[in-house]
Amino acid sequence: MHVNHMASGLAGSQILALAEEIKARLRAGHQVYNLTIGDFDPQLFPIPGPLREAIAAAYAAGETQYPASNGMPELRAAAAAYTRRRQGLDYSPEAFLVASGARPLIFAAYLTLINPGEKVIYPVPSWNNNFYTHIAQGSHVALATDPADNFLPTPEQVAPHLQEAGLLALCSPLNPAGTVFERNQLAGICELVLAENARRGPDAKPLYVLFDQIYGALTYGDTVHVDPVSLFPEMQPYTLYIDGMSKAFAATGVRVGWAFGPDGVIAKMRSLLAHAGAWAARPEQLASAAFLDDLQAVDTYLSGIREGLSRRLEAFFTGLQQMETQGLPVDVIPPQAALYLTVKIDLAGYRTPNGSLLQNGRDIYSYLLHEASVALVPFYAFGLPDDSPWFRLSVGTVAEAEIPGILARMQAALEKLGR
């Protein structure tokens, strides 16, 4: 089959490949504690009741025509007000673009902002920037980040690559690590971007920042979500934000996301997505607008989902820390945000009970799946090398009562290994 060079070189998702293996074990009758999914079990984390009711009411009222191509005016106004309340960012509703979740918006941002061959800077691990760069036919500048920096890029890493770059792609809170930028860390990067754009001058194509904050409302304890324009208003012409309903309100299947940023960029993204027909459904848009305007309902729901996710993350964190203190080859980064915990399971060089040698993340994943019935996502699925010992643990589909048993299974599997 002959297809174009971009499509022929586009690899499939490694996370989906892992999911197929999990499904095969489930079909064979095995129990699997699936901690790979960046989603929510609706029995544990249902969408907000007022949102569910408003969706049903919109369908009942016959709101089934095409939506506005840039999003229903009610939702753009509600998203602008929500952003102003939560972050103090003052954007007009006209600066917002609505689509069927965050993915089409990120896709459109890459195609709008990147010329073929232009450099795209992104950290690894991170979600799908490698695929989007390939689709846009950009030149990859993948920055391998360090756990000491919470797997987020530092100004020192970014600085050497800014000249001739078209886009710097950032995500905070970070998928997969569930960590957030420290204020000084992000401020240092913003200062570099401002200096680079000043060097280019007003007539040159600027360096843009794509700032994915889809998990921004899900922070825990003393963690504070920071963003470029809040730190430096001068970043506004260069920053494109990605946000939406899917994570903060456990509404991944509702498919309502929005971008906001420079008018010219938003206008071109709107044209691109209009040709793709990637609109969010009209009833879901109207329902989301009504829900976001209900300040008490929003605050009540966010308080509840944060509490539920935080308890699960803390339970896993405490249990894994205890394994570490017992001498098992485990480490874990304290939970900060999102629904993810970053876990190090360093089993390279260990042998399984049947004598097999574990050598890389794939081997470790497979051992835990078969021996403990626990599935985690290796960080090689997010761009790190195959030998990385780091994993993403997701808590959106696990009941709290299951956590002690999962930890016991993991510990038992680790204790069976030898050198």
pLDDT digits (tens, 9 = 90+) for 95-124: 999 999 999 999 999 999 999 999 999 999
Residues forming CATH 3.90.1150.10 domain(s) in the chain: 5-30+300-415
Supply the pLDDT for residue 226. Answer: 97
Alpha-carbon span 64 to 74, nearest angstrom: 16
Supply the pLDDT for residue 302. Answer: 98
The answer on pLDDT for 278 being more than 70 is yes
Residues forming CATH 3.40.640.10 domain(s) in the chain: 65-293
Give the pairing of strands 139-144 and 119-124: parallel
The pLDDT confidence band at residue 1, using thresholds 50, 70 and 90, is low
Section 184-212 average pLDDT: 97
Task: Please write the tens of the pLDDT for every residue from 160-191.
Answer: 999 999 999 999 999 999 999 999 999 999 99
The pLDDT confidence band at residue 48, using thresholds 50, 70 and 90, is very high
Q: Are 309 and 395 in contact (CB under 8 A)?
A: yes
For the stretch 127-145, what's the b/e string if a residue is b when 16 or more beta carbons lie within 10 angstroms of its beta carbon?
Answer: bbbbbbbbbbbbbebbbeb
Supply the pLDDT for residue 14. Answer: 75
Rounded to 10 deg, the angle between the 263-276 and 102-113 helix axes is: 110
Listed range (3-17, 102-116, 363-377) with the worst mean pLDDT: 3-17
The answer on pLDDT for 17 being more than 90 is no
Average pLDDT, the chain: 95
Section 249-276 average pLDDT: 96
Contacts of 349 (CB under 8 A, 6+ apart): 357, 358, 359, 419
Q: Are 255 and 100 in contact (CB under 8 A)?
A: yes
Q: Are 419 and 331 in contact (CB under 8 A)?
A: no
Section 247-252 average pLDDT: 97
Pick the closest to residue 73 from 103, 52, 94, 101 (CA basis). 94
Q: Are 364 and 402 in contact (CB under 8 A)?
A: no
Section 57-67 average pLDDT: 97
List strand residue ranges (DSSP E) for 67-132, in order. Answer: 96-99, 119-124
Predicted TM-score (pTM) above 0.85? yes
Report the top-level CATH class of 65-293: alpha beta
Task: Please write the tens of the pLDDT for every residue from 319-354.
Answer: 999 999 999 999 999 999 999 999 999 999 999 999
Supply the pLDDT for residue 28. Answer: 86
Homologous superfamily of domain range 5-30+300-415: Aspartate Aminotransferase, domain 1 (3.90.1150.10)
